[in-house]
Amino acid sequence: MSKKNDKRQRLVDAADDLIYQQTFSSTTLADIALKADVPLGNYFKTKDDILKAVVQKREADLNALFSTWEQIPNIKDRLRSFITQFLQGSDTVARFGCAMGSMCQELGKLSGDISFLAAGLMKKTVNWVETQFKSLGKADKSGTLAEYLVAALQGGALMTLTFKDPAILKSQSKNLETWLESV
């Protein structure tokens, strides 16, 4: 990676962390520059610009995760990996919530294009889960099953954050793994 790209990446990583930990609206360009130790001006002119770069980074991360899971031959094992992915970060979820879910919650209240920016991440997630259910031969209700699974994990993540209790996400994940068996 060139030095220039490295500096840009440091800014995006810093913005990603700060937006997750303290919300987009509470994060200033100055916060991001300070955390990254890189002056912002040369790379991003506005907060919206850097938010777009953060969403692109998260989309690339999601693509990488999905590609990894697609190497797993057993389809239900893929979906179990999806569920336990949340579980692995349960302490962080108890502190800051789900990175994707909280961004959708915050940006969703805004007006204009920015309001839809994080929706693409959620859509990609629901679509990937739906594809797995289709591969399981659930074509007629794959959309409903995918929506159900993602909503249950998002609701579980919100309650984990609200009560600062990682045990909630663990219990929710366990219930969803049992549910998955029965599908």
> Per CB under 8 A, does 171 bind its own copies?
yes
Using a 10 angstrom Cβ sphere, with 0-12 exposed, 13-18 middle and 19 or more buried, the burial of residue 45 is exposed
> Per CB under 8 A, does 25 bind its own copies?
yes
Q: Which stretch binds its own copies (CB under 8 A): 34-42, 56-64, 68-76, 142-150?
A: 142-150
Tokens for 9?
């990446």
DSSP string of 135-150?
HTT-GGGHHHHHHHHH
- Judge whether 47 and 11 are in contact, CB under 8 Å: no
Report which DSSP code applies to 24.
S
Tokens for 40?
């912002």
Which of 56, 115 has the CB closer to its own copies?
115
According to CB under 8 A, which one of 8, 101, 128, 132 is a site residue for its own copies?
101
Q: Please tell me the distance from the alpha carbon of residue 110 to that of residue 120, in angstroms, as a whole number.
A: 15
Q: How far is CA 17 from CA 1, 3, 14, 68, in A?
A: 21, 21, 5, 23
Which of 76, 124 has the CB closer to its own copies?
124
Among 104, 117, 92, smallest CA distance to 151 is for 104
Which of 50, 156 has the CB closer to its own copies?
156
According to CB under 8 A, which one of 90, 132, 142, 154 is a site residue for its own copies?
154
Q: Which of residues 106-135 bind its own copies (CB under 8 A)?
A: 106, 108-109, 115-116, 118-119, 122-123, 126
Which of 7, 95 has the CB closer to its own copies?
95
Which of 5, 26 has the CB closer to its own copies?
26
Q: Please tell me the distance from the alpha carbon of residue 28 to that of residue 34, in angstroms, as a whole number.
A: 10
According to CB under 8 A, which one of 15, 47, 66, 97 is a site residue for its own copies?
97
The residue ranges that bind its own copies (CB under 8 A) are: 21-23, 25-26, 95-97, 101-102, 104-106, 108-109, 115-116, 118-119, 122-123, 126, 144, 147-148, 150-156, 158-159, 161-164, 168, 171-172, 175
